[in-house]
Amino acid sequence: VAMPGTVRVAMRVAVRSLCLAALLGALGAGGTELTLELPDSAQRCFHQELESGIKFTLDYQVISGGHYDVDCYVEDPNGKTIYQETKKQYDSFSHHSEVKGVYTFCFSNEFSTFSHKIVYFDFQVGDEPPILPDMNNRVTALTQMESACVTIHEMLNAVIDSQTHYRLREAQDRSRAEELNGRVSYWSVGETLILFVVSIGQVMLLKSFFTEKRPSSGGAGT
């Protein structure tokens, strides 16, 4: 007969193993994350081959540049536009592919003539696989340990999403702060130059007031 302490240790090991599997499943979910630079009057497109009936999700956000907006559209293999938005700061789009082929999604900055943009996007394909084997085909209820691991897995996904959100917000705020700092620096340099010019002008003006003007020599006396 196993001792109570040994049972507790074995259960802790099992819980840690299942929770580690949940953590690896949360961190190893399929998808593509990319941060790209989008020059002014430019467009960047990406392509992904999908089977029919596959769910895909596109999340994007402009991190820096201009008014933090960008045009985005998604086309199916037949050239049909299934998503299109103009001058969006951020958005999320989910869709189930209806036909098999190469899907195209593009980010456009063609409406801007001088502002470079930095855009982050996350492209997820398919549903996340279950963290437990045969979880979708089970006819019995989950045990308390399995339910706890599923809950931990969902919480880890929420933590990852929150970390991504706050990381993007921090990058956006840092970009705005650097832009504001640059404007303040240019304004300070401009004020310094203006004060320097005004000071020289005042010195020259005061000097002209106190400069003795010698009378010009007249013609020879008779």
Q: Distance (Å, rounded) from C-alpha 222 to C-alpha 219? A: 9
**Are 97 and 158 in a shared domain?**
no
* Chain centre to alpha carbon of residue 110: 20
Residue closest to 45 by CA, chosen among 78, 70, 66, 69: 70
**Position 24 in a domain:** no
In which residue are the tokens 């401009």 written?
Answer: 190
Write the Ramachandran bin of 145: left for phi over 0, alpha for psi from -120 to 50, otherwise beta.
Answer: alpha
Residues 116/38, Cβ–Cβ less than 8 Å: yes
* pLDDT score for 136: 57
* pLDDT score for 2: 44
Residues 57/123, Cβ–Cβ less than 8 Å: yes
* Chain centre to alpha carbon of residue 85: 17
Q: Distance (Å, rounded) from C-alpha 10 to C-alpha 145? A: 13
Q: Which of 16-25, 71-80, 145-154, 178-187 has the highest mean pLDDT?
A: 71-80
Domain residues for 197?
A: 147-207
**Position 175 in a domain:** yes
Query: Could you report the per-residue pLDDT of 92-101, keeping only the tens digit for each?
Result: 899 999 999 9
Average the pLDDT over 19-25 and give the result: 44
Average the pLDDT over 8-33 and give the result: 48
* Residue 30 pLDDT greater than 60, yes or no: no
Give the end of a domain, one of 127, 157, 188.
127
Total structural domains in the chain?
Answer: 2
Query: Could you report the per-residue pLDDT of 134-163, keeping only the tens digit for each?
Result: 655 665 666 777 777 778 877 887 887 788
Query: Could you report the per-residue pLDDT of 115-127, keeping only the tens digit for each?
Result: 889 899 989 887 7
Phi, psi for residue 81 in degrees, rounded to 5:
-80, 115
In which residue are the tokens 């702060």 written?
Answer: 177
* pLDDT score for 132: 62
For CA atoms 82, 109, 59, 126, give the dihedral sign.
Answer: positive
Give the end of a domain, one of 82, 98, 127.
127
**Position 10 in a domain:** no
Query: Could you report the per-residue pLDDT of 158-204, keeping only the tens digit for each?
Result: 887 788 778 877 877 887 888 888 889 999 999 999 999 999 988 88
* Residue 107 pLDDT greater than 70, yes or no: yes
Residue closest to 115 by CA, chosen among 68, 72, 70, 65: 65
Mean pLDDT for the chain?
Answer: 78
**Are 153 and 199 in a shared domain?**
yes
Say which range, 46-50, 78-82, 128-132, 183-187, has the weakest mean pLDDT. 128-132
Write the Ramachandran bin of 155: left for phi over 0, alpha for psi from -120 to 50, otherwise beta.
Answer: alpha
Q: Distance (Å, rounded) from C-alpha 97 to C-alpha 55? A: 6
**Position 120 in a domain:** yes
* pLDDT score for 105: 94
